Chains A and B, each alone.
Chain A
């Protein structure tokens, strides 16, 4: 099979307190080098665990230093009103993708800040990636996205919640899916059949996760070459880099 361009919508750098693992920027860069990843959306975990403003600064700087990196901004609703100021500033700065971590940060999707952030995203035309592993989360996110006119990417979707996600995606064209946990033997193919390849984006979760797990899963997916290329890179480019 010929080599295809890879664009990864889900990477991190920094630290992860609960794991003694090196997920430094250098480690991420090494993974991108090794697997010839053309572009990777990334964010500093400082933004997740400590201070979203400082994290976004680090993310932006990393992207300035490495043209492969597309900065993913984040806000932490636990910070309240400051979040919206941060969101507006970062959109002004040039961030086009944001990621929210309701499950890691333990806040409800009904949080006012989440709704406000999605409303802002809808108006600004930016994309928001949201952790959605818990049952019901995809449904809630889709409802909010529809209300707010926002485009969202569901993250942490696997075989356990794929049934819910497929129902949600069929009814909500603004809901997309990143693939890092889409592990099952026919999960990718089933999703493409049901909602189309244009709504999946390759994500690896690197360097927290093994890059090759997500990559080989897609590499060996039973898909026409054009659809595989769309998932692997084309959709990322279309949604996050063009226009």
Chain B
């Protein structure tokens, strides 16, 4: 069963986690039959969006198996708009990514809305990493303001996955990425049942989460093999046009 990993990182972190080389990534991809991995720059997430996005662009240049996320930050709207324009027209960049925990802007703020509006012309998804239920409420407002935007809740909002699933079940433009360190046993099947069979996508969050951990969660989920396949690859192929 081939896998599309829509959530991985490239670069170092302040935590004691080894920054993966491309060889490391590909070794995991081979071991776990991951056909494609989407990379977001950790450096960009932590603040240096130009440097970080450029590092990812260089790393994935000419690759079929590695694709990039363009990290944006609503605290730097003009810079982020430039990054969106620079990268989202490229085939090898799949969309944009934001981390509410780092940029600390409300997700329904005017700068955030400005960035989402700018993205619409590219018709590519926005993955948002949230930390709180307040973030999710604001993301809901953003999703309602831009019904044609495709929004992915990264890691199903972590410990708040139940709220994230309820949100995805009522907003047709929100889908869920099911990776991350929260391995609550009911979350994947619940998400599949409540949000819908096309609305759950696989991600690992590597290197913060080893692919084995993320694959283990889907393996144990109370779902049929065809449903697991939808999560592991088919839903990503549909959403990203792969």
Contact = CB atoms under 8 A, between A and B. Distances in A.
Contacts of A160: 15
Interface string A183-215: 111110010000000000000011111111111
Most buried by A among B184, B212, B213, B219: B213
Interface in B73-110: none
A181 B17 contact: no
B190 to A, nearest CB: 8
B183 A209 contact: yes
B185 A183 contact: no
A58 to B, nearest CB: 21
Contacts of B215: 212, 216
B181 A181 contact: yes
Interface string A131-157: 000000000000000000000000000
Nearest to A207: B185
A162 B15 contact: yes
A210 B189 CA distance: 12
A79 interface: no
A216 B15 contact: no
A162 B16 contact: yes
B87 to A, nearest CB: 26
Contact of B186 (A19, A166, A186): A19
Most buried by B among A162, A181, A184: A184
Interface residues of A, number: 32
Most buried by A among B15, B185, B216, B219: B185
Contacts of B214: 213
B225 interface: no
A39 interface: no
Contact of A159 (B15, B183, B212, B217): B15
A184 B205 CA distance: 9
A86 B90 CA distance: 65
A243 interface: no
B221 interface: yes
Nearest to B179: A183
B166 interface: no
A158 interface: yes
Given A184-B17, A219-B212, A21 B186 contact: yes
Given A185-B17, A186-B17, A190-B16, A216 B184 contact: no
A186 B207 contact: yes
A156 to B, nearest CB: 10
Nearest to A20: B186
Nearest to B17: A184
Given A20-B186, A185-B20, A213 B217 contact: yes
A160 B218 CA distance: 23
Contacts of A211: 216, 220
Interface in A17-35: 19-21
A166 to B, nearest CB: 7
A11 to B, nearest CB: 12
A159 B219 contact: no
Contact of A210 (B28, B31, B217): B217
A205 B181 CA distance: 13
Most buried by A among B17, B28, B215: B17
A165 B12 CA distance: 20
Contacts of B223: none
B185 A209 contact: yes
A159 B185 contact: no
A213 B183 contact: yes
16 contacts: A162-B16, A180-B183, A183-B209, A184-B15, A184-B17, A184-B208, A185-B209, A187-B210, A209-B185, A210-B184, A211-B216, A213-B183, A213-B220, A214-B183, A214-B216, A216-B215
The 6 A-B residue pairs with the shortest CB-CB distance, nearest first, are: A212-B216, A185-B207, A213-B216, A216-B216, A216-B212, A213-B183
Interface of B: 15-18, 20, 24, 28, 31, 162, 181, 183-186, 206-210, 212-217, 219-221
